Structure 1
Amino acid sequence: MAQKSAKSLAVKNSQRLKQTHLITLAIHLLFLLLAFTLRRSLTLKPYLLLSAPALGLEYWLDSIARPQYNTDGGLRKAGEDLDARGLTEFFWDIIYWTWINLITVVLFGNRAWWAYLIVPAYAIYGAFTTAKGVKGMFGGMAGGAAEGDTAAPAQSKRQQKMESRGGQKVRYR
């Protein structure tokens, strides 16, 4: 029972990688089959350009998550967790979006390649809103009021009540 979690992670990673590779192979073969036979209008330049990042990320995920075994069959390294949050999750999103986009191109033609721009557009939107939030967060740290800003900062209801009662009184013993 030693390394039970490592062994289960290794099995889980192997199954998920096998499933991912099979789905990728099926989708890409379908696209190429239709591009060379039935739908000759499908162009290969966008396919090569837009599929390369997903194929590279899939190779990278395979290299870090593939379990490694000793010569005697014992588990040497289980590999990284493919369900990790953060960057790994973002890589899976790119792979899934590439699959969706390839199927969309097969169904609707070359104009569907423009759907791939949704990912960078969303990234730009996220960066813009994050930068705007950071700017608002640090806005009051300028060391004084902005030019033309003479209004006092808003007070809470509790502060207003204390002011109406004559302010906060300090007792000395």
Structure 2
Amino acid sequence: MAQVREPPWHLPPKAAKTLAARNSALLRQTHLTTLTIHAIFLLLHFLFRRPRSLTPYAIFTIPTLIIEFYFERLGRPRYNPGDNSLRSPGEDLDAPGLTEYFWDVLYWTWGCMGAVCVFGDKAWWLWVVVPLYSAWSAYTTFMGVRKGFAGMGGDAGDAAPAADSKRQKKLEKRGQRVKYR
């Protein structure tokens, strides 16, 4: 008989059930929204023959479909086949970091598809914001890390002067200067 290994993180049963229910509801809502938006786009394309090309549609929506597949694999709860008990609640789909960025890409693509339905193919240019945001985010993260490492050099001349305490101000008022190490 194969032994089922538990993940390194183990949630209390109530928290696991809550996470599983939240993930299931979020995945259901996401899939329905995606299905609705894609159906509206394709309906407008094939019925009204307005200027909507399928090439940019495929180029810009395939990444979001891959993201949805990733969310499905990551967050879908798994149940034991015999007694239908919860085996794994799935990962938290509201987690910060890469998951949060993927949600942003998904929401932005939905917005772009809505804009394309209303304004035509030129609205796909709104999708350019995603790589620009990624570049800006990477740059600010890099600069923040670099600034953090700059203070670790040990060179006191480059460090910003510390604010004087009340005691230092009193001593300076009397004409004395105290140097702290």
Band the TM-score falls in, shorter-chain normalisation? 0.7 to 0.9
Query: Unaligned regions of 5+ residues in structure 1, if any?
Result: 147-152
Alpha-carbon displacement from aligned partner over 1:13-33 (angstroms, at most 9, x marks no partner): 111111111110010111111
Shift of 1:132: 3.6
Task: Answer yes or no: is 1:119 the counterpart of 2:130.
Answer: yes
Shift of 1:133: 4.0
TM-score by length of 1: 0.79
Distance in 1 of aligned mates of 2:88 and 2:110: 30
**Structure 1 residues 127 and 161, CA, compared in 2 at 3 Å: closer, same or farther?**
farther
Alpha-carbon displacement from aligned partner over 1:27-78 (angstroms, at most 9, x marks no partner): 0111111112213410111111110111101111111111111122111111
**Structure 1 residues 14 and 129, CA, compared in 2 at 3 Å: closer, same or farther?**
closer
User: In the alignment, which residue of structure 1 is the partner of 2:89?
Assistant: 78
Task: Answer yes or no: is 1:31 the counterpart of 2:45.
Answer: no
Shift of 1:105: 0.7
CA RMSD of aligned residues (A): 2.9
Shift of 1:154: 5.6
Matched-pair contact (CA < 8 Å) for 2:50–2:120: no
Distance in 1 of aligned mates of 2:37 and 2:20: 26
User: In the alignment, which residue of structure 2 is the partner of 1:3?
Assistant: 13
Query: SS where residue 37 of structure 1 aligns?
Result: helix
Shift of 1:144: 9.3
Aligned with residue 13 of structure 1, among 1, 23, 34 = 23
**Structure 1 residues 27 and 138, CA, compared in 2 at 3 Å: closer, same or farther?**
same
TM-score by length of 2: 0.76
Aligned with residue 101 of structure 1, among 112, 118, 126 = 112
Distance in 1 of aligned mates of 2:156 and 2:25: 59
Larger Rg: 1
Shift of 1:113: 0.5
Q: Matched residues, percent identical?
A: 45
Letter of the aligned partner of 1:90 in structure 2? Y
**Structure 1 residues 117 and 162, CA, compared in 2 at 3 Å: closer, same or farther?**
farther
Q: Aligned residues, how many? A: 164
Letter of the aligned partner of 1:86 in structure 2? G
